[in-house]
Structure 1
Amino acid sequence: MKLLKTTFLSSLAFCLAFGTYAQKKDDKKPEETKPATTAPAAPAKPAEAPKTGPKPYKEVITSKAISSNGLMTVHKIDEKFFFEVSDTLIGRDIMTVTRYSKTAAGGGIFGGEEVNRQVVRWEKGPENKLFLRSITFIIASPDSTKPIFQSVKNSSADPIIGVFDIKALRKDTSSVIEVTDFFKGDNQVFSLDPINKQFLKIAGLQPDRSFIQHIRTYPINTEIRTTKTFSVVPPSVSLVPMPQIGQYLPASRDAGVVTMEFNTSMIILPKTPMRKRYFDPRVGYFANQYANFGEESQKSDNEIFAVRWKLEPKSQADAERQKRGELIEPKKPIIYYIDPATPQKWQKYLKAGVDDWQVAFEKAGWKNAIRGEYMNPKDSMSLEDARYSVIRYFAADIQNAYGPNVHDPRSGEILESHIGWYHNVMRLLRNWYLIQTAASDPRSRMKNFDDELMGQLIRFVSSHEVGHTIGLRHNMGASSATPVEKLRDKDWVAKNGHTSSIMDYARFNYVAQPEDGITDFFPRIGDYDIWAIQWAYKYFADAQSAKEEKAILNDLTKEAVKDPRKRFGTEISPSDPRYQTEDLSDNAMKASDYGIKNLQRILPNLLEWSKENGETYKELAELYANVSAQYRRYIGHVTKNIGGIYDTPKTYDMEGNVFEVVPKAMQKDAVSFLNRQVFETPTWLLDKNVLNKINPEQGVEAVKAIQETSLNSLFAGDRMVRLMETGSASNANYNLDELMTDLRSSIWSELKTKKTIDIYRRNLQKVFIEKVTSLLNPGMTTVSFIPQGASYGFESRSVDLKKTDLPSIARAHLESLKNEIKAALPLTIDKMSKYHLQDVLQRIENALNPNK
C-alpha cells in the first residue's frame, strides 16, 4: 500500500510540472485567478430514514375500503384484506374451526367436514407487531395470584403462528393489520395438517392459484372462505410393490394439482368459562381434562369434566320457578338446522330425530330446550357459520353418519355441532333391518323399503347422532339390562323398548320370534338417556361451585344406578361381556340362539326378497354377506363371556366390588354354545340354492374361516391370562384347563363315536392342532384394563406367556389327544378319516418332540 501511494503522488507531480511547461511554451499570459468571494457550501444533510410504525388510520383504511363490523372489523381494499383487532380482544381465547367447503371428488372427504380446530389468542408484540398464538390446554393453575401460576406458565409456552405489522391504530383502542397473505397461505391451523396431506398425497401450496373468496364478520365470530390449490406428491415407479401411505385424488392424477375450498370460523369463547361439571364414570359423557396445579395441593389433580351445552334460566325468577318443579325455557336453546341439500322427503325424519330429545330435557326441567329447524336456501345463513349447528347431507357412498361437537376446552361447553349424514347410510339401514327383523316384520322383506319405514330408520339414527352432539357417549351396556325373555314379550317391549338407551349399538330386536306378534323393533330415547340428560343438564340454582354440584350429583347417581336400566357401560371395555356392540339382553347365549333361528328362516328367502329381472345376483351376494356377518357377531357376543370380568364403576360410598369374574356356569354355557353353533358344522349357512348363484365355492373355506377366527379369539393371549389368573384364584371360577377339555371333547368327538370325519371337521381339527401347538412356545401378550376414574384410555401390562402355565396346559392336552388318536386309528374305516388322523398324529409328535 505504501508503494502504491508513493507512485500515485509521483505521477501526480509529473502531470502538474508538464502542465506548467506547456503553458509557458504558449507565450500566453495566464488569466488572473480571483480570490473566492462566496462562503463554502454547507455539508449535505443525511437522507431521512423512512418513517416506521403505524401510519395514520385514514392513510391505511382509505375511502376505497369496504368495511363490516363484528368480532373483528374487516376491511377490503382492492384485493387486500385487513383486520381491525380491538384491544378488548387481546388475550381473549378464540376457537377456530376449519372445514372443507368444497372438496375434490373421490378422496372420501366431503364439503362440510371438519379439517381441524384450535384455540388461538391475539397478543401485542414488540416493534409494533401483533402476534397470533396457538393455545394448548394441558396444564393449568386456578389462581393467577399464586406463585405456582408462574411455574405453570413457564412450562406451557404457546407457539406463535402469525406475526403482523400494525399498519395503523384507531383511537389507540384497536390495531389494523393486513391478513391477506396469512389466510390465503398454508398456515396449518387454517389449512390441512401434515397427516391429511400425506393421506391425500398433497404437497406444497400454489400461491398463484390460491386466494381469499371473502371474509364475513358477525358479533361473535368471523368467517374466512378461501380457495387453495396444492401440488401433489410426484408418483413414483417401482418394479417392486412397496407399501405407500395415502392415495391420490382423481383430480390429482388428471391435473397434477388439487383445488379445495375451506371455511374457517373464528368464534370468541366466553370471557368467563362455563362452570365445569366433573366427569363421572358411572354416566357416559365425552370429557376434557388437564392437569391442575393448586397452590395448596400436594400433587397435580387431573381435572376431568363433561362436555355439554350451556343451559341456564333467562332470569332468577325462572330459576325459582324451575326449583318449584315448573318447566322453563332456557336462555339459549339448542337448535339444529337441516341442510337444505337434504332430499325433501327425509328432512322431516331428521328433524324428528332432534325433537325426540325434548322428552329427556323436560325431565331435567327444560321446555323447548332442543329442536330441529329447516333452513331456507334463500336465507343468508351459511352452513359453515360457527353460530349454527347443522345436519349436513353428503352425497357419498359411505354407509355411515357421525355426530361430533365443537366445545370450549377450558370448560367443556359445546359451542356448535355439524352432524355428518352420508347418503348411503340408508343402504346400511336396509341391510341391518332386513337381516335382523325380516323373520318377524313383513315390511323388510323387499329390496327397497317404502318411504315410511326408511324414514323411521333415518329418524332413529338421527336421534342417536344428536345424542353424541349433546355430549353422550355410546352406552354399550344398556341392552344388557333387558332380560332375554322380555324381548319376546309384546307388551313389555311396547312399553320399554328392547334397550334402555338409544346410545347403545342395539340396533333392532333380533331376538323376537315370528310367533311373538311384536311390531316395535326400533330403539328409542330410553330410561338411561333420560337420566343421563338430567345428570348433565339439570340446573342447580343453589350450588355455588362445581364441587358442590358434584356432591349433589353423586347422591343422585348412587340412587339412579340401583336401577340396571340407568347404568352406563363403556364402549371400550376389553373384558366385560355386558358391554358389547350389536348385542341384546342379559344372556348372549340365549339371545344368539334366537338370532340364529331367525337367520335360518331368512336365508332361504333371500333369493326371492332380492330379485329384480334383468339384474345379476349382486344383491343376493350382498345380503348373504350380511347374514354371515350377523352370525359372526353372535359368535363374538358369546365368546366375550369366556374369561370375562365384569367392570362396574363404583365410588367409596357404594357397596360391592368393581371387578367380578363372570360366573362359571355362564362361561361353560358360552363354550357349549360355540361347540354347538360353530364347531359343529353350521350347515344352514351352506344353502346351495344361494351359494350356487353367488360363489363358485361350496362354503368349505368360508366355514373354516369362521371356525378359525373363533378359535383364535378363544386362545387370544389376554383371555388366556385372565382364565389362568381367575381360575387359579378359586375353584369356583372357570379355568384354562377346563376350556381346553371342553373344546377338545367337542371338536374331537369322532374319536369316541367312531363316526366318519368329514371335510369340514377335518379342517377344524387341523386348525385346532395348529393353534394348540403354537401355545407350546407362546410369545408376549398385552393385558389391558380401564384405570379407575378415567374417561378414556387403558393401563396395560405385558405378560411373557412362556413363563405362565399356558405351555404346560397345552402340552398336557396334546399328549392326551395323541393317545386318543392312537387308540382310534385302528378302528377307523373311512379312508380320508384315516389319512387325516395319521397326519395330525405326526404333527403332534413333531410339535412335542421337535428334535427327535
Structure 2
Amino acid sequence: MIKMNFSFRQSVQGGALLLLLALQSSAAKADENKSKSASKPKKETKYDRLFKDKKTETARSKFITVHKLDNKIYLELPRTLLKKQMMLGGTITSTTDPTAVTVGSTSSNPILFYFDIQDSSVVMKTPNNVLFEDNASSPDLNEALSLNYRDGIWQGFNIMAYNNDSSAVVFDVTALLGKPTNLIPVMPTKNGNYSVKATPKSELSFIRGIKSFDTNLSVNNDFTYGVSTSLMSMPIGGERPTTVGVSYSLALVPESAMRPRIMDSRIGVDFSVRLGMPKEGASTKRIFFSHRWNLVPKDKKAYTKGKPTMPVNAIRFYLDDNFPESWKQPIREGILEWNKAFEKIGFKNSIEVVDFPQKQGFDPDNIQYSCIRYIPSGASSAPTSDLYVNPNTGEIMSASMFIYSDVEKLLHKWRLIETGAVDPSVRGNRLSAQHFAQGLKMLVTKETGKMLGLLKNLGASATYSTDSLRNARFTTTMGLAPSVMDDVHYNYVAQPSDKGVSLASSGLGMYDYFTINWNYRYFDTDKVSINEETNTLEAFVDKNIINPRLRFYAERNARWDPRVQAEALGNNMIASAELANKNYSIVESNLSKWIKNDEDTRIKDKLYLQIAQNRYTLFKQVLSNVGGMYLNNMKISSKIPQYQVVSKELQKRSLLWCLQQAANFTKYANRKFERKGFLSVSYYDQSLEFIAYDLLAARNRVAVTSYLDPNSYTQKEYFDDLYNGVFKSVAQLRAPSQGERILQRAFMNYAQSAVSKATGNGAAAGGSAGGAALKNDDQGATPGFGDPSQNLAPTVDITLADNSELYFYDSLLKLRTALEKCLKANLPLEARTHYEMMLFKVNKTMEVKK
C-alpha cells in the first residue's frame, strides 16, 4: 500500500509538471501572437475613414451623437432609436432685419416623424395619424389599414457608415438641419399687413454650433435670404439680403402616460388631430386632443374631497439671468398669475418660476427645460413663445417664452397713444418704472396663457358695452375684457372727463378661469372612463356658455364676425372709434409738447405713424359690420342660431360712417408736424388706397349675407350708398377732396374691370376678395362637441350671390350723366381734368364692340 501510494504521488507530480510546462508554452505562444498582433496595423474601418484627418466637432449624449465637419452635419443614430417617434422644429434666434423677421418666431409647427432603414438609406417617415379603437383590432381591419394608411416617406439619406460595433448608423443630414428646407419653413410669409417673400441663398448657409442632450439635440445655423416685402401685391422697396440665426431642435417623443382630453370646439384651446377607426357600421371620425400639461394631484383623495393639493410635477419655468433685475418681478408675477386659476380647481403651486440653475449640465437650449429667455433685439415686439407638444396625446412637453430688450418702446407707444389724453403720468419719452412693470406683467400673462395651451379670444371684449368701459366701478371690478387672451392693450375709449376708470388690464378674467377649469380639471383614469370624462366636460360647457362672456370667439371666424377684431374694445364699433379718434387727436396735437430731446423726431415720428395706423384699424373694425354675420358655436338646443347676419340698420350706418371717414381721412393729418419732421410720405395719404380697396371688397361679403338673409342689407342698397358717398362731389358740382379722388379712381377701376368681363370687352375683374364662405362639412364630426378646426360660416356659391357686374354697370350709367352735368360747372383745372378722365373711362367701358 505504501509503495502504491508513493507511485501514485510520483505520477501526479509528473502530470502537474507536464501541465505547467504546457501552460508556460501556451502563454509564450500567446505573448508571441499578441506581439505580432500589436505590430500588425489595425484594419481601418469605413467609420474611421469618415472622420480621419478632418477637423471634427462632436456632441455626444445618450440620445444621438452629432458630428460637424466641413460645414456638414452627420447624425450617429443608435439603431435602438429606429422607428422611435421624434419631433423636429425650427426657431428664429437672431436676425439682421427685425422689421421682416421676429426673433423667437416659428413659421410652422414641429413635424412628427421616425427614422427607419430602407435598403442602403435612412429614411424619415411620417407615422399615420390613425387612432385605433379598443375593439377595432381584428386581423382583417388591420390588414386593410396597412394598405390604406401606410406611413409616408418625407426624406431619405445615404448611409455613410456604421460605427465600429455596428450599434449606430451614420448619415449626412446637412440638407435637413444645415440648410434652409421647405420641410420646416422658418421665414414668415406675413409680417403684420405686409407679405414677405424670402428666397434662400443656400451657398451662404453656415452651421454655427451643435449640442446633444439626453432626449434631444439642437443645431444652430446662419441662413441668408433675399427678402422682399409687399402690401396688397404692391412691392415695398427691392430685395434685400437678410441673415437669420435658426435653431433646429430634434427631440424624442416620450411615451406619455397622460390620457388625451377630447376637444370641445366651444373651448379656446389649441389641439392636435388624429383619425379614429370606427366601430362596425360607423363612419371614420377625426378626433381632436387638447394641448395641456400633465397635471396630476399628489394626494388624489384630498383632491377628490375638494382640498387643495400640490401636483406630482409642477410646470416649471426657468428665468434667464440676463434680464435686468427690475424686470424679473413683473415677469414672475405675470406667469404666476395663472396659479389663481389652478387654485380654483384644486391645484396648489401648479406653476413655478426659478432662476437659471448654476449647476453644470443646465443648458437653456435643451428643450426639456421651459425657459423665459431675454432676447437683445432692436425690434419692439411683444413676447412670443414656442411649444413642443406630443401629438399622440396633446401633452405639452416644454414651452419657452422670448422677451425682447426693446419691449419698453412698444409699451410706451401703446400706453401714451391710447391713454395719454386721459393720464398725464404717461406723457413723456419713457414710461415710469411702475407703468412699465404693469405693462410687462400684462404681456407676460397673455403669453403664458398660450404656453398653457390657450388660444387668442379676440371677441371677448365685444361682450362689454362701450359705455361700461367708461365706468370706474365696472372697469375696476371687471377689467377691460373677460379674458386676458383678447388682444386688448389699454383703455382707449375712456375720456378725460371719466374719473377713476381703469386704463389697463388687471389680470385674469372669468373666461380664463373657465377655460383652465375645462382643460386641467383632473379625472382619475382608473375610475372615470374617457367617455365619462368627455360627457362631464361637455355638460360643464353646456351650462356655462349661456353666458356670452364665457364663450370662445375663434380667430378663424374674423373674416365674417365683426366681434372678432384685433385690438377692438367694446360692443359698439362706431362709438368706440369716435371716442378713440378724439383721444388720438389730443395726443397727436401734443406730441411736440410731451416728447422732449428728440431733435431728429425719431420718437415723435413713430408715435405719429402709430396714431395714423390706429385710425385705419378703427376704420376696418367699423367696416367689418358691412356684410358681417355673428357666428355662434352653440348647440341647436340652445336656440341660439349658428349665424345671424348683422342688422340692415347697423350695416348701412357703418358703411356711411366709413365713407365719411374715407373722404376726409387726411383731415387727421397734422401737416405742420409732418413738415417739421423727417417723414417721407404721410401715412394718412398712403392709407387712402387701402381704404378704397377695403370699401370695394366689402361688396363680396354683402353678396353672401344678403343671399343668406334677403331681409338684410342688400347688395343693391350697398352699391347705392357706396355710389352716393364716393361721387358726392360730382352730385354737388364741386371739386373732390383728395380722399374722394382716390375713392372715385378706385371705383372706376373696379367697375371697368367688372363690366368689361361681363360684356367680353376685357380681362377678369381684379381685386376680388373671393367672397364665398368656407364649406360647412360635417364629414369631420368628432367625439365631443363640434369640430374645432371648422369655420362656422355656411356655404354660399358666390357666383349665385354676387351681382356686382350689374350694379357696377348701373353705376356707370348714372355716373356718365352726372359727370356730363358736373363738367358744365365752373371747376378748377385739376378737378375738371380728373372728371374728364373719369368720363373718358366711362364711355370707353360702355362702348359696344362691333
- TM-score, length of structure 1 as denominator length: 0.77
Give the letter aligned to residue 349 of structure 1. P
Q: Distance in 2 between matches of 1:697 and 1:593?
A: 28
Q: Distance in 2 between matches of 1:604 and 1:545?
A: 64
Q: CA deviation at 1:246?
A: 8.2
Q: CA deviation at 1:826?
A: 4.3
Q: Distance in 2 between matches of 1:609 and 1:527?
A: 37
* Structure 2 alignment gaps of length 5 or more: 1-40, 46-57, 68-72, 188-197, 228-234, 758-763, 778-785
SS of the residue corresponding to residue 841 of structure 2 reads helix
SS of the residue corresponding to residue 515 of structure 1 reads coil
Q: Distance in 2 between matches of 1:360 and 1:148?
A: 45
Kept after mapping to 2: 8 A contact 1:433/1:508? yes
Map of 1:239 onto structure 2: none
Map of 2:726 onto structure 1: 747
1:339 aligns with 2:329: no
Residue 193 (structure 1) aligned to one of 176, 181, 184: 181
What is the number of equivalent residue pairs in this alignment?
A: 746
SS of the residue corresponding to residue 151 of structure 1 reads helix
Q: CA deviation at 1:605?
A: 0.5
Kept after mapping to 1: 8 A contact 2:459/2:565? yes
Residue 840 (structure 1) aligned to one of 820, 838, 841: 838
Give the letter aligned to residue 370 of structure 1. I
Deviation track 1:230-260 (CA, whole Å, cap 9, x = no partner) reads 9x8999xxxxxx9999864569xxxxxxxx7
Q: CA deviation at 1:536?
A: 0.5
Q: Distance in 2 between matches of 1:267 and 1:244?
A: 43
Residue 651 (structure 2) aligned to one of 651, 658, 667: 667
1:714 aligns with 2:674: no
1:735 aligns with 2:714: yes
SS of the residue corresponding to residue 168 of structure 2 reads strand
Task: From the superposition, tell whether residues 529 and 601 of structure 1 become closer, same or farther in structure 2 (CA, over 3 Å).
Answer: same
Map of 1:557 onto structure 2: 541
Q: CA deviation at 1:839?
A: 4.4
Q: Distance in 1 between matches of 2:161 and 2:280?
A: 43
Q: Distance in 2 between matches of 1:176 and 1:111?
A: 39
Q: Distance in 2 between matches of 1:752 and 1:809?
A: 18
Q: Distance in 1 between matches of 2:83 and 2:684?
A: 64
Kept after mapping to 2: 8 A contact 1:474/1:571? yes
Task: From the superposition, tell whether residues 164 and 618 of structure 1 become closer, same or farther in structure 2 (CA, over 3 Å).
Answer: closer
1:311 aligns with 2:292: no
1:815 aligns with 2:813: yes
1:481 aligns with 2:463: yes
Map of 2:609 onto structure 1: 625
Q: Distance in 2 between matches of 1:773 and 1:536?
A: 54
Kept after mapping to 2: 8 A contact 1:391/1:420? yes
Map of 1:589 onto structure 2: 574
Map of 1:28 onto structure 2: none
Map of 2:140 onto structure 1: 147
For structure 1, which segment, 601-610 or 729-738, has the greater mean C-alpha deviation from structure 2 after superposition? 729-738
Task: From the superposition, tell whether residues 147 and 283 of structure 1 become closer, same or farther in structure 2 (CA, over 3 Å).
Answer: same
Q: CA deviation at 1:731?
A: 5.2
Kept after mapping to 2: 8 A contact 1:394/1:421? yes
Map of 1:686 onto structure 2: 669
Task: From the superposition, tell whether residues 495 and 137 of structure 1 become closer, same or farther in structure 2 (CA, over 3 Å).
Answer: farther
Q: CA deviation at 1:814?
A: 2.6
Q: Distance in 1 between matches of 2:681 and 2:186?
A: 43
Q: Distance in 2 between matches of 1:109 and 1:737?
A: 43
SS of the residue corresponding to residue 511 of structure 1 reads coil
Map of 2:54 onto structure 1: none
Residue 396 (structure 1) aligned to one of 374, 377, 397: 377
The share of aligned pairs that are identical, in percent, is 21
Map of 1:537 onto structure 2: 520
Give the letter aligned to residue 330 of structure 2. Y
Q: CA deviation at 1:810?
A: 1.9
Task: From the superposition, tell whether residues 134 and 594 of structure 1 become closer, same or farther in structure 2 (CA, over 3 Å).
Answer: same
Give the letter aligned to residue 181 of structure 2. D
Q: Distance in 2 between matches of 1:282 and 1:355?
A: 26
Map of 1:93 onto structure 2: 85
Q: CA deviation at 1:277?
A: 1.4
Q: How does 1:240-255 map to 2 (within 5 A)?
A: 248=241
Kept after mapping to 2: 8 A contact 1:426/1:454? yes
Map of 1:637 onto structure 2: 621
1:605 aligns with 2:590: yes
Map of 1:547 onto structure 2: 531
SS of the residue corresponding to residue 807 of structure 2 reads helix
Q: CA deviation at 1:663?
A: 1.0
Deviation track 1:546-603 (CA, whole Å, cap 9, x = no partner) reads 3322211111111211111111111122211011111111111111111111111111
Task: From the superposition, tell whether residues 372 and 166 of structure 1 become closer, same or farther in structure 2 (CA, over 3 Å).
Answer: same
Q: How does 1:3-14 map to 2 (within 5 A)?
A: none
Kept after mapping to 2: 8 A contact 1:286/1:307? yes
Task: From the superposition, tell whether residues 249 and 709 of structure 1 become closer, same or farther in structure 2 (CA, over 3 Å).
Answer: closer
Give the letter aligned to residue 595 of structure 1. A
1:783 aligns with 2:772: yes
1:176 aligns with 2:167: yes
Map of 2:151 onto structure 1: 157
Kept after mapping to 2: 8 A contact 1:112/1:392? no
Q: CA deviation at 1:321?
A: 2.2
For structure 1, which segment, 597-606 or 763-772, has the greater mean C-alpha deviation from structure 2 after superposition? 763-772
Q: How does 1:413-424 map to 2 (within 5 A)?
A: 413-424=395-406
Q: CA deviation at 1:790?
A: 3.8
Task: From the superposition, tell whether residues 599 and 125 of structure 1 become closer, same or farther in structure 2 (CA, over 3 Å).
Answer: closer
Q: CA deviation at 1:846?
A: 3.0
Q: Distance in 1 between matches of 2:251 and 2:660?
A: 60
Give the letter aligned to residue 149 of structure 1. N
For structure 1, which segment, 277-286 or 795-804, has the greater mean C-alpha deviation from structure 2 after superposition? 795-804
Kept after mapping to 2: 8 A contact 1:712/1:771? no
Residue 136 (structure 1) aligned to one of 127, 133, 155: 127
For structure 1, which segment, 764-773 or 573-582, has the greater mean C-alpha deviation from structure 2 after superposition? 764-773
Q: Distance in 1 between matches of 2:538 and 2:798?
A: 41
SS of the residue corresponding to residue 266 of structure 2 reads coil
Q: How does 1:349-364 map to 2 (within 5 A)?
A: 349-364=330-345
Residue 565 (structure 2) aligned to one of 572, 580, 585: 580
Map of 1:428 onto structure 2: 410
SS of the residue corresponding to residue 418 of structure 1 reads strand
Deviation track 1:18-50 (CA, whole Å, cap 9, x = no partner) reads xxxxxxxxxxxxxxxxxxxxxxxxxxxxxxxx9
Residue 365 (structure 2) aligned to one of 384, 402, 405: 384
SS of the residue corresponding to residue 785 of structure 1 reads coil
Task: From the superposition, tell whether residues 111 and 427 of structure 1 become closer, same or farther in structure 2 (CA, over 3 Å).
Answer: closer
Q: Distance in 2 between matches of 1:202 and 1:250?
A: 11
Q: Distance in 1 between matches of 2:316 and 2:718?
A: 54
Give the letter aligned to residue 603 of structure 1. E
SS of the residue corresponding to residue 741 of structure 1 reads helix
Q: CA deviation at 1:144?
A: 4.8
Q: Distance in 1 between matches of 2:706 and 2:118?
A: 66
Q: Distance in 1 between matches of 2:242 and 2:669?
A: 41
For structure 1, which segment, 466-475 or 835-844, has the greater mean C-alpha deviation from structure 2 after superposition? 835-844
Kept after mapping to 1: 8 A contact 2:66/2:211? no
- TM-score, length of structure 2 as denominator length: 0.77
Task: From the superposition, tell whether residues 725 and 405 of structure 1 become closer, same or farther in structure 2 (CA, over 3 Å).
Answer: closer
* Structure 1 alignment gaps of length 5 or more: 1-49, 55-66, 170-174, 236-241, 252-259
SS of the residue corresponding to residue 267 of structure 2 reads coil
Residue 255 (structure 2) aligned to one of 266, 270, 274: 270
Q: CA deviation at 1:385?
A: 1.8
SS of the residue corresponding to residue 479 of structure 1 reads helix
Q: How does 1:437-456 map to 2 (within 5 A)?
A: 437-456=419-438
For structure 1, which segment, 322-331 or 132-141, has the greater mean C-alpha deviation from structure 2 after superposition? 132-141
Task: From the superposition, tell whether residues 494 and 93 of structure 1 become closer, same or farther in structure 2 (CA, over 3 Å).
Answer: same
SS of the residue corresponding to residue 316 of structure 2 reads strand
SS of the residue corresponding to residue 467 of structure 2 reads helix
Q: Distance in 1 between matches of 2:443 and 2:847?
A: 57
